[in-house]
Amino acid sequence: MTTSLPEPYQSDLPPPRLQPDLAFVHSRFAHFVAFGAGVGLIPWAPGTFGTLIAFPLFWSLNSWFEPITLLLVIDILFILGIWACSITGKVLGAPDHSGMVWDEIVAFMLVLYFIPDQVLWYSAAFILFRFFDILKPPPITYFERKLHGGFGVMFDDLLAAFYTLLCLAGWKSLVLFESYF
């Protein structure tokens, strides 16, 4: 009886139907949204770059809208992401393709909405969000496996945002003093 090693790059997931490029991103509005206007095409750490794109997008929207309206806009962007990531994932044959960064963008915008407008908070939030988005502690992993389509893509990042905000709230209440800010 012999044992054989698995083929290189063998995966339980089917290979993507096509490799996205700029033409693909511009071919449909859903792809443009899901790939964060092309940011998701960056070959290394597209999720990190997608998270970074949330900063200027949030700041510009924050200057246009009142706080409660901005929260509604972020909700609408979340719903838009469900639609866009669902369509794009189906076309690519990869339900949560690494280039689809709209989930990071919107979830991190939600984090930015709830934290103070200071560099220290931005830095801590960015590091924590990326940590939770990459590590995917329970129940994020559970929901990532159980929820499918665009909602599943968007929801796991929403949980990473929740963990980020929970840690920041704990940090503020346990370590930092209100007078410091």
Task: Find, among 147, 149, 70, the residue nearest to 110 by Cα.
Answer: 70
What CA–CA distances, in Å, run from 92 to 143, 148, 157? Answer: 21, 15, 20
Tokens of 52: 């970074």
Per-residue pLDDT of the chain (181 residues; tens, 9 = 90+): 444 444 444 445 555 567 899 999 999 999 999 999 999 999 999 999 999 999 999 999 999 999 999 999 999 999 999 999 999 999 998 888 999 999 999 999 999 999 999 999 999 999 999 999 999 989 988 888 888 899 999 999 999 999 999 999 998 887 765 555 4
Tell me what pLDDT residue 12 has.
55
Tell me what pLDDT residue 18 has.
79
Tokens of 155: 């929801």
Residues 6+ apart with CB under 8 A from 40: 20, 25, 34, 46, 49, 50, 97, 98, 99, 100, 101
Tell me what pLDDT residue 40 has.
95
Tell me what pLDDT residue 4 has.
46
Tell me what pLDDT residue 11 has.
46
Q: What is the pTM of this model?
A: 0.85
